[in-house]
Chain A
Amino acid sequence: MKHNLQIQVLKPGLHTTIQDQGRWGHMAYGVPRSGAMSVLDAVKANWLVGNPPNAPVLEITLMGPTLALEGGGQIALAGAPIKATLDQQPISHLQTVNVLGQQTLKFGRTKDQCRTYLAIRGDWKVASWLDSVSAAVTKPQLLTPQSILTKGLLWVVESQGQLEIRQIHGEPPKNQKIRVMPGPEYSRLNVQSITDFLTREFIVSAQSNRMGYRLDGTLNNFTPAGELISSGIVPGTIQVTNRGQLIVLMADAQTTGGYPRIANVIAADLPRMAQLRPGDPLQFSLVSLSEAQRALSRSKF
């Protein structure tokens, strides 16, 4: 049986966007990759409703939206725990939830982490640009008008049949260090700067968003290496500015840059990085490529 679920935005929340896994094929033209900041959590949410891993999800940041649902379907939440109610009844995290008729889905603030992912079973009828529905970084209103939530926005998700309820047992977030591999310009740092980078507790600054996380403070005894010839950067690349400030590049980052790239966050730890909020502390630890590969195979969902 065919179900249609119509979603209308009553309140958009702080910064709510539609994301899939991004537009990887156009980075050579300077187009940011975009996509879910925590791909792992987006994949979990999609699994709970039986969608493919790359299906669109709603990425909710810190303060969630209020949505009017009409029709029938199945939804699920993953990522940051959040206060969420369906017609004032609290709904479970990490579990398939059935919706039917006219209902109001209301979100509050996220707890402990930054981003919650809402998956909806079926085929999202939203416009894509360059093979992805993820909100574009430049000209989003023109290129992906449905992917940044605004009041009144409406879209439909079509699905075939119902899925048995699925569940994932959540683990409390581990407060471990963010593991990095040395970047191409790592060796340009002096001993004091390296020691500082690997021992200090940094704080995520308020100037952090989907493009990058700026960390508070500057590296001890940092001596600028001068501007480099622009070269590729990827989500997870850690740049150091001329005054020694660290920037961890994230999903919406530019594709090239001229600051020294001192490290790259390993793939297994990018979801944890994406879940840090402004004000959260973090520490880095250095790992080898083979450790990074082992960590990734262990972090599989």
Chain B
Amino acid sequence: MILKEKVLGNMELLPFGDQALLVNFEQRIQVEVNQKVMAMYQAVKAADRAEVTFLIPAYCSLVIGYNPEISDFQHLRSWLKELKIEMEGSVEPERKLKIPVCYHLSYGLDLKEVAKLTGLKVESIIDLHTSHTFRVFMLGFLPGFAYMGPLPEKLQCARMSTPRKKVPPGSVGLAGNQTGIYPDEAPGGWRIIGKSPLPIFRTQGQEPFLFQAGDLVRFEAIEDARFQEIQVQCAEGIFDWESIYET
């Protein structure tokens, strides 16, 4: 398939300084738009061109860095315009992940507040959060932090007006129509409803990041006993990582 308006929608190619190019897709948070971003990201990555220095895919945009010593904006733009994007073929199939989360009040620091804000019972919040499949739209903010969504409307609530100074690693939060997991301890204003025992950002062995943009994620409610068990298994290196990938 040739990169046509029809395929990629209204795509805008803009200079982003003199070492990068910004591809703006339709500016909205939508699965279809993000699929286009990811298709282009994968196609550029697969082309493995020497002048491309880095790539930052986001909700509805893609920043493509280039080495100004061997290329320039004009060249890259014409190449992108001609780039054949195999929307089916070159795009890696979306991975499906099942992420265990303990929604106990001791981990879900803002569960009661979210219940107040949304008018939902705590059980309904957990039901809603575990019954939807979310898409990883992008990674950013911290290494490995996945912005997932869209959240069902009933669960949506604004960020905290005063962010927490320290959110514990593994915390699962809500912000507007997004949900995400803190890979590390960090300041943050997302409303915390639970915690996952899985290390999201792994400092040794395996791939450092659990998530990649385009992943489909489902949360699974677990009891505290199972939470503790998984934590120990991860620390000892005996956790069955295969078990979180769904086929």
Contacts and interface: CB of A to CB of B under 8 A. Distances in A.
A230 B15 contact: no
Nearest to B176: A227
B241 to A, nearest CB: 18
Interface string A231-265: 11110110000000000000000111100010011
Contact of A267 (B17, B143, B203): B17
B212 A292 contact: no
Given A27-B55, A30-B142, A143-B203, A234 B61 contact: no
A204 interface: no
A190 interface: no
Contacts of A231: 22, 24, 58-61, 63
Interface residues of A, number: 40
A289 B18 CA distance: 6
A142 B55 CA distance: 26
B12 to A, nearest CB: 9
Interface in A20-34: 24-33
B18 A255 contact: no
Interface in B197-242: 201, 203, 208-209, 212-213
Contacts of B14: 184
Contacts of A143: 203
Contacts of B184: 138-139
Interface in A71-92: none
Interface in B1-46: 14-20, 22, 24, 27-29, 41
B56 interface: yes
Given A232-B56, A293-B72, A254 B141 contact: yes
A168 B20 CA distance: 30
B147 A230 contact: yes
Given A24-B53, A27-B56, A229 B28 contact: yes
**Highest count of chain A CB atoms <10 Å: which of B53, B143, B208:** B143
Given A138-B142, A232-B63, A255-B140, A28 B17 contact: no
Contacts of A206: none
A30 B140 contact: yes
B16 A29 contact: no
Contacts of A27: 54-56, 65
A273 interface: no
Contact of B17 (A29, A234, A255): A234
Contact of B29 (A25, A130, A229, A289): A229
B203 A30 contact: no
A296 interface: yes
Contacts of B142: 30, 138, 254
A18 interface: no
Contact of A289 (B55, B73, B201, B203): B73
B138 interface: yes
A285 to B, nearest CB: 15
B97 interface: no
B51 to A, nearest CB: 12
A233 B22 CA distance: 10
B62 interface: yes
Contact of B145 (A30, A130, A234, A292): A30
A45 interface: no
A29 B208 CA distance: 9
A254 B140 contact: yes
A254 B139 CA distance: 11
A267 B65 CA distance: 12
A281 interface: no
Nearest to A31: B143
Contacts of B55: 27-28
Contacts of B53: 24
8 contacts: A27-B54, A29-B212, A229-B27, A230-B140, A256-B141, A257-B140, A265-B17, A296-B18
Q: Which 9 A-B pairs have the closest CB atoms?
A: A264-B17, A256-B140, A232-B63, A232-B56, A292-B18, A30-B139, A231-B61, A24-B54, A31-B143
